Amino acid sequence: MRGLRRARGPLCEAGVCAQAAGPACGGAACLGLAHGVEPSYPAVMKWTLHPLDHAADLPRWRRPKALLVVMAAAMPIAFATWSALLNNFVVEVAGFDGADIGWLHTVREIPGLLAVGVIPLLLVMREQVLGIVCLGLLGVATALTAHFPTMGGILTLTLLSSIGFHYFETVNQSLQLQWLTKDEAPRVLGRLVAVGAAAALGAYGLLVLTWKAFDLDFATVYVIAGGTTAVIAAVALFAYPQFETPHPQHRRVVLRRRYWLYYALQFMSGARRQIFVVFAAFMMVERFGFEVHEVTALFLVNYVANMLFAPMMGRAVARFGERAALSFEYVGLTAVFLAYGGLYYFGWGVVLAAALYVLDHMFFALAFALKTYFQKIADPSDIAPTAAVAFTINHIAAVVLPATLGYLWLTSPGAVFALAAGMAAVSLALALLIPRHPAPGHETVFTGAALSPAE
């Protein structure tokens, strides 16, 4: 309630009054938006609101950026642990082959394809609440993963954890772009990547140190990691006020022609990234025989690199722009995927494979430049629905490719990585269409800065 006491101006006008405001609002909960729009949330979902413009009145740990940091740290504890153990778990316990792992990741990406489902949920639940609830779902589903070591059990819990992960990421991206200014977004997003890397680093470090020392099993590690994320989500739900942005978000599907380049880059990103997520780590286990502690140590190196370099990447995006940053990423990814193929065609060794995996992960860390590109060209009220649409577009290929390429993997793993290199090259061609200073009406190099936005 501290946010209520310190809010400036008339409580009803600020849209932050509750019953504690007493006569100021006639003794009733008054939760109208700052623009006078009456929300349709059920009574159970009516939370104390605090205007974003007055967030500086709150203690630092209760401000929007602090909540973004908390969520950035909480998600990788469950998701990164799940990812680190997944390939060993499904191979050693469930006996998966390349086709099975392809199907698992196809199921995992279905909620991403259905990310537009966030939009109707926003009719009955505040965006901030929805994100935190989904974070909790990710934690609970991760905690239960190893308790059902069958194909059906693994796929079911993968689906539930994926709903939590993808819906959380959709909302989290939207909140980041709404709560951060355009000038500070690249630097703060870089720091948030570093925070997530540090959280994953802590989880991985503990896993490396304790897996053999304490003879841990998959079930114990999953319960600890997932339970930690779920507890943090519960704290975040009740410890922070609900922040009200000055631009109410559309609660319908939004598709605009002037966002076409953003949509295209999202589609290619989803297609390309799936090959890395699904098959790069699987290669380390299947071809080079990595054990749990070795795979985790490799992830450890990845997150140390991201923790150190992500803030630098944020500053680079702010200085050189999204076109330069994304072009650098896609040139690097093209080279890395070609080298992955060389591991099979030329028989290159495990040291190069591990180095490529680290480089691959670092290049992907630059993907937040795509977020800041959209922030610069977007109507502020389009951010939430477009985040959902973008996640769906990102996952169109992601649902089809893992299972399809899983069968190609059985006959020619090198061809899978050659295809990924081609996708990275197409992404590079698209990135070159981003103007140096994107803005509404100047979304691509084909549109002039003086033109009005086309619908």
Question: Is the pLDDT at 416 greater than 80, yes or no?
Answer: yes
SS3 32: coil
pLDDT of residue 1: 39
For all residues of the chain together, what is the average pLDDT? 83
Residue whose entry in the numeric block shows the structure tokens 């349709």: 40
Cα 417-329-392 angle, rounded to 5 deg? 75
What is the average per-residue pLDDT within 239-259? 89
Report the alpha-carbon distance of residue 406 to residue 393 in Å, rounded.
21
In a domain, 410, yes or no: yes
Domain co-membership, 128 together with 144: yes
Q: Which DSSP state fits 366?
A: G
What is the average per-residue pLDDT within 181-201? 91
pLDDT of residue 384: 92
Q: What percent of the chain has pLDDT over 70?
A: 87
Question: Is the pLDDT at 260 greater than 80, yes or no?
Answer: yes
What one-letter code names the amino acid at 24?
A
Pairwise pLDDT comparison (154 vs 96), residue with the higher score: 154
| Domain span holding position 8 | 2-57
Burial group, residue 190, by CB count within 10 angstroms (0-12, 13-18, 19+)? buried
356 C-beta neighbours (distance < 10 Å), count: 22
365-400 pLDDT tens trace: 788 899 999 999 999 999 999 999 998 998 887 777
Inter-residue long-range contacts of 212-215, CB under 8 Å, 24+ positions, other chains counted? 212/293
Domain co-membership, 223 together with 363: yes
Domain co-membership, 123 together with 234: yes
What is the average per-residue pLDDT within 351-369? 86
Report the alpha-carbon distance of residue 402 to residue 448 in Å, rounded.
39
pLDDT interval class at 274 (50, 70, 90): confident
In a domain, 274, yes or no: yes
Q: For the chain, give me the number of helices (H) and strands (E)?
A: 18, 2
Q: What percent of the chain has pLDDT over 90?
A: 44
Domain co-membership, 246 together with 121: yes
Question: Is the pLDDT at 166 greater than 60, yes or no?
Answer: yes
Predicted model pTM: 0.78
Cα–Cα distances (Å) from 266 to 170, 273, 336, in that order, read 13, 10, 20
- The domain tally of the chain equals 2
Question: Is the pLDDT at 27 greater than 80, yes or no?
Answer: no
Domain co-membership, 44 together with 99: no
